[in-house]
Amino acid sequence: MGEDVRHYEVQQNDKYGRYLVANKDLVAGELIFTDTPFAVGPKPDTPPLCLGCYCPVENTLCSSCGWPVCSEECGKSPVHADECAFFSAARVKFQPVEDWTASAPQLDCITPLRVLLAKEKYPDRWQRELEVMETHTEERQLRPTWGADQVNIADFLIDHCKLGQRFDKETVQKVCGILEVNSVEIPSRGGFSIRALYPRLAIAAHNCVPNIVHTILQNDYQVQVRAAVPIKEGDGLHLCYTYALSPTVVRRDFLMESKFFQCDCARCADPTELGTHLSTLKCSKCDNGVILATNPLDKDTSWTCTDKNCGFKTSNAAMRKMLAVVQAEIDQLELLEPGPGAIEQREATINKYKSVFHPRHSLLLSLKHSLAQLYGRVEGYSIDELPDLMLERKAEFCRLLLKTLDVITPGETRMRGMMLYELHAPLMFLARNEFGAGLITQEKLKERLQEPIQCLAEAARILMREDPHSPEGITGQIAQQSMEQLKASLECL
């Protein structure tokens, strides 16, 4: 722990409970601390996954304990060893399921069991790092998930698997609470979503405009936490617990549902979301105004047109309903295979809703984000066959996203790195096409290629901090090579 002792300290107040504060000035990209998970495992409602590597499995079970693993090797992996011994001793096997792609409540007990077994193995670490974690027991008792956890986890482990000699049901529910409130969703080595419990990362408070970023290293699921922007000594270190591009109502609902608090940060309190307009609608009654929440922190707020002469008004309930309908439509598009149809249907959806939403509204922005990545990458739309108009469209979407990210997730973030990488290609091809058509001189071409070189340099710097086997880490290495090649080709001009 010595490597980072001087970078932060833990403080406490009524609003955040325990939280982290920088105890020195930090530069963007600086490593603040690394953290090792206390436990890693499947998240609730997952289909059967291998308990060694977390890849989906079908009908393959561990020869020792009879729980899902994908191979003999995973059956013997240290990750699975303790629960394997436990289930073997209890003679409790995984009950085969009809549909191996549907969620399997049987697996809900695995991560809590791993926490309990680690509690026995590392009592000091439990006492120091987990005993103090927030569980929101009273609020959880009022929710249907409490009953499900009682049956699928507490009763199953204590009564059915005979864990009662070592733990009581209250401790099992405490562990479920610790996981629900403090664990984070991470990608497994196979790319599937699992969850991990990081004792120090869990202390970082939330803000919808974060100033730190975290990277998961896939070999041992260690997390690295860095400054995203320059941070002053004494500033709180903030993570964003939600998807940054979501509109305010969606973010606040998620935080209340999963983390049991109402966010009242500057972004949530501002109807325009700090000028990004991620929640703003166009007024269909007049052409001059836009529709904003009167008070975004009030769940019963009304939405009104900004044009004083218009007077259009609607309820928060009607707004939520509309968002849900359009979101469901966009979710369907996410299921499409990446091909020409995936581009054309998204463009059609943008066209359908462009008179309803502000051009930077979260829902339109999510479509533009997908298109920024699809243009240049799918059959019929490969980068070297895109006409200038489409190259310009790809560049426009990338710039729009970058401009928004500058406000809501400022600094050196994965999404910024990926968008910069996407932006370099249309800029490079547009410049080359103009030079090829005799519209610009060689000198002008060299000048125009400086921006794609900058994009690649910054993308490489940000993304090469990621795990080298992750999609972002691989893109970082490609960005570095592309930048060197582009510089070399410039020197030959």
pLDDT at 303 over 70: yes
Considering the domain architecture, whether residues 63 and 149 belong to the same structural domain is answered as yes
User: Per-residue confidence at 359, pLDDT binned at 50, 70, 90?
Assistant: very high
DSSP 377-427: TSTT-BGGG--HHHHHHHHHHHHHHHHHHHHHS-SS-HHHHHHHHHHHHHH
Q: Could you tell me if 320 and 421 lie in one domain?
A: no
- 62 and 93 within one domain: yes
Q: Is 50 exceeded by the pLDDT of residue 4?
A: no
State pLDDT tens for residues 106-133: 999 999 999 999 999 999 999 999 998 9
Does 163 map to a domain? yes
pLDDT at residue 1 tops 50: no
Please report whether residue 28 resides in a domain. Answer: yes
In this structure, are residues 223 and 67 in contact, taking their beta carbons and an 8 Å threshold?
no
Residue 309 has pLDDT above 50, yes or no: yes
Q: What is the mean pLDDT of residues 478-490?
A: 95
404-429 confidence digits (pLDDT tens): 999 999 999 999 999 999 999 999 99
Among 358, 353, 333, residue whose Cα is nearest residue 344: 333
Q: Are residues 158 and 72 in the same domain?
A: yes
CB 293 within 8 A of CB 278: no
Overall average pLDDT of the 4-18 stretch: 81
Task: Assign 287 a pLDDT band (cuts: 50, 70, 90).
Answer: confident
Q: How far is CA 305 from CA 286, 323, 326, in A?
A: 9, 18, 21
What does the pLDDT average to over 59-73? 93
As a whole number of angstroms, the distance between CA 128 and CA 132 comes to 7
Give the model confidence (pLDDT) of 170-218 as tens digits.
999 999 999 999 999 998 877 788 999 999 999 999 999 999 999 999 8
Question: Is residue 259 domain-resident?
Answer: no
Q: What is the CA radius of gyration of the chain?
A: 25
What pLDDT shows up at residue 2?
43
Half-sphere exposure for 374 (CA within 13 Å, toward CB): 22
Percent of the chain with pLDDT over 90: 86
248 in a structural domain: no
In a domain, 296, yes or no: yes
Examine the domain organization and report whether 343 and 399 are in the same domain.
no
**Taking residues 145-158, what's their average pLDDT?**
93
73 shares a domain with 93: yes
Identity (one letter) of the amino acid at 406?
A: D
Residue 256 lies in a domain: no
Confidence of residue 311 (pLDDT cuts 50, 70, 90): confident
List, for residues 330-339, the tens digit of each pLDDT value: 999 999 999 9
On whether residue 316 sits in a domain, the answer given is yes
Per-residue pLDDT, 258: 85
Specify whether 309 is located in the same domain as 440: no
| Per-residue pLDDT band at 5 (split at 50, 70, 90) | low
What are 426-461's pLDDT values in tens digits?
Answer: 999 999 999 999 999 999 999 999 999 999 999 999
Check which CATH number belongs to the domain holding 27 and give it. 2.170.270.10
Last residue of a domain, one of 342, 370, 398: 370
Domain that holds residue 485: 375-493
**DSSP state for residue 236 in the 8-state scheme:** B
Amino acid at 470: S
Q: 60 with 119, same domain?
A: yes
What are the Cα distances from residue 322, in Å, to 98, 244, 382, 489?
A: 36, 20, 35, 51
Using CB atoms within 10 A of its CB, is residue 48 exposed (0-12), middle (13-18) or buried (19+)? buried
Q: Are strands 184-187 and 205-206 parallel, antiparallel or unpaired?
A: unpaired
359 shares a domain with 329: yes
Q: How many domains is the chain built from?
A: 4
Choose the final residue of a domain: 304, 335, 370.
370
In terms of domains, do 342 and 416 share one? no
Domain boundary among 318, 341, 370: 370
Query: Are 54 and 190 in the same domain?
Result: yes
- Per the listing, tokens 């990004």 go with 276
Q: What is the maximum span of the chain, computed from C-alpha positions, in angstroms?
A: 82
What backbone phi and psi angles, to 5 degrees, belong to 482? -60, -40
Q: Which residues contact 295 (CB under 8 A, 6 or more apart)?
A: 271, 301
| Domain-located, residue 155 | yes
Paired strand residues for 230: none
Q: Which string of DSSP letters, residue by residue, matches 311-372?
A: --EEEHHHHHHHHHHHHHHHHHHHTS-SSHHHHHHHHHHHHHHTTTB-TT-HHHHHHHHHHH
Based on the domain organization, do 319 and 426 belong to the same domain?
A: no
CB hemisphere CA count around 254 (13 angstroms): 15
- The mean of the pLDDT values for the chain is 93
More confident residue, 13 or 279: 279
For residue 372, give the nearest of 321, 427, 328, 411 by alpha carbon.
Answer: 427
The three-state secondary structure class of 26 is strand
